[in-house]
């Protein structure tokens, strides 16, 4: 039985992780659950999975929870609470599913504590990949990707000599506005941007998919996960979301991972790696699928993706600035304060003002993020 801590248990990845655990009784003991502020969902999770510890990041909500959750569970709060859940001595594997830069420091501390990481928090590697991956190697820790695309690449590379890798084909659905031009996106509403054609995800990542910024973050993440150059990662539009990504080798062979758009698949793969077990749900029906389509990304329309690629090439502290700027812009868009196209404009403006810091440490990374949040959120 593996003992697990889930950081971000009320979000899309967290709840689907608990779906996998629910379907496989006896395989996992839930030691810690952490949420930002959703104590209603947390209460139901505590009643069902009976963790020893919970963390409610929002301190005000943590005080409220004491009257709701009872005395059988130890309540933690704030960043110290997240770190305690990430480093708990009982825990074998940590699911890093907190949205945003809040999740970076707990992942770093979990690696230092020798915990395997099922990683969904893109920001950890986008901002601190140069720290986390060498540290994971030093500590003998596995970083197991939970993103469907990175899980696909991980599976395609499994058992292969990474020196023979020629190119990674990082696939994207294209989001709800695939095929649209910039002029057609001027008056996009929040509701339209949240209407993803294939995937059911949280609000922030759904907006990131609509702007295609998500694919830029995944490109940065893939660089660190698989130890390859940015120029060896090619983004490919695959609108059916059946091919989750591909690896092309030096001899011209291409290995792809195919599946339905179901996040439980990469979650379960990470939790059970290297073993595969049965997963209930739909399977790819090739007869009804008929064909698969491919296209190039439109960098003129989706300027946020172009900015992400630029940030990845610049390196140093620029990916941190890009990420924090995007978090602020998405929050403002969801609040109705800016338009859809303003997201990319805001990101580019913040990037232009930044002087790059080479090899930033964790304190610098977090500090940069805090400065941008304070000014623009």
Residues comprising the chain, all counted = 377
- Any idea of the CA torsion for 370, 371, 372, 375, to the nearest 10 degrees? 120
- Tell me if 86 sits within 8 A of 110, measured CB to CB: yes
Domains located in the chain, CATH noted: 2-145 (3.40.50.720), 150-376 (1.10.1740.10)
- Tell me if 166 sits within 8 A of 232, measured CB to CB: yes
**Residue 168's pLDDT is what?**
98
**Residue 199's pLDDT is what?**
74
Terminal alpha carbon distance of the chain: 42
How far is it, in rounded angstroms, from Cα 356 to Cα 141?
30
* Alpha-carbon torsion (82, 85, 88, 92), positive or negative: negative
From the centroid of its chain, how far is CA 281? 23
**Residue 208's pLDDT is what?**
94
- pLDDT per residue of the chain (377 residues) written in tens, 0 to 9: 999 999 999 999 999 999 999 999 999 999 999 999 999 999 999 999 999 999 999 999 998 888 888 778 999 999 999 999 999 999 999 999 998 899 999 999 999 999 999 999 999 999 999 999 999 999 999 999 999 999 999 999 999 999 999 999 999 999 999 999 999 999 999 999 998 887 777 889 899 999 999 999 999 999 999 999 999 999 999 999 999 999 999 999 999 999 999 999 999 999 999 999 999 999 999 999 989 999 999 999 999 999 999 999 999 999 999 999 999 999 999 999 999 999 999 999 999 999 999 999 999 999 999 999 999 88
**Whole-model pTM?**
0.94
- Tell me if 40 sits within 8 A of 126, measured CB to CB: no
Structure tokens at 279: 């997963």
């Amino acid at each position: 039985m593996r003992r697990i801590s889930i950081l971000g248990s009320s979000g899309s990845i967290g709840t689907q992780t608990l779906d996998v655990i629910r379907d496989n009784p006896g395989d996992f003991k839930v030691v810690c659950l952490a949420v930002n502020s959703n104590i209603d969902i947390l209460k139901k999770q505590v009643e069902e999975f009976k963790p020893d510890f919970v963390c409610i990041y929002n301190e005000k909500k943590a005080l409220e929870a004491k009257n709701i959750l009872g005395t059988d569970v130890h309540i933690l709060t704030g960043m110290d609470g997240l770190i305690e859940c990430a480093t708990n001595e009982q825990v074998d594997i940590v699911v890093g599913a907190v949205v945003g830069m809040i999740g970076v420091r707990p992942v770093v501390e979990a690696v230092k504590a020798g915990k395997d990481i099922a990683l969904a928090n893109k920001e950890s590697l986008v901002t601190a990949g140069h720290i986390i991956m060498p540290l994971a190697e030093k500590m003998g820790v596995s970083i197991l990707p939970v993103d469907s695309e990175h899980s696909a690449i991980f599976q395609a590379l499994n058992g292969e000599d990474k020196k023979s890798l020629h190119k990674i084909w990082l696939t994207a659905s294209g989001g709800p506005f695939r095929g649209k031009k910039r002029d057609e996106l001027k008056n996009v509403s929040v509701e339209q941007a949240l209407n993803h054609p294939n995937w059911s995800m949280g609000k922030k990542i759904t907006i990131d998919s609509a702007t295609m910024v998500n694919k830029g973050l995944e490109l940065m993440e893939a660089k660190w996960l698989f130890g390859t150059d940015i120029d060896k990662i090619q983004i490919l539009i695959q609108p059916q979301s059946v091919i989750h990504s591909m690896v092309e080798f030096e001899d011209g062979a291409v290995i792809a991972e195919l599946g339905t758009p179901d996040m439980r698949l990469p979650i379960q793969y990470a939790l059970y790696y290297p073993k595969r077990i049965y997963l209930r749900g739909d399977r790819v029906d090739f007869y009804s699928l008929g064909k698969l389509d491919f296209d190039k990304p439109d960098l003129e329309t989706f300027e946020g993706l172009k900015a992400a690629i630029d940030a990845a090439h610049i390196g140093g502290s620029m990916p941190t600035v890009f990420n924090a700027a995007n978090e602020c812009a998405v929050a403002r868009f969801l609040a109705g304060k800016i338009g859809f196209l303003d997201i990319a404009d805001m990101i580019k403006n913040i990037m232009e003002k930044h002087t790059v810091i080479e090899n930033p440490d964790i304190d610098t990374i977090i500090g940069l993020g805090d400065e941008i949040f304070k000014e623009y959120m």
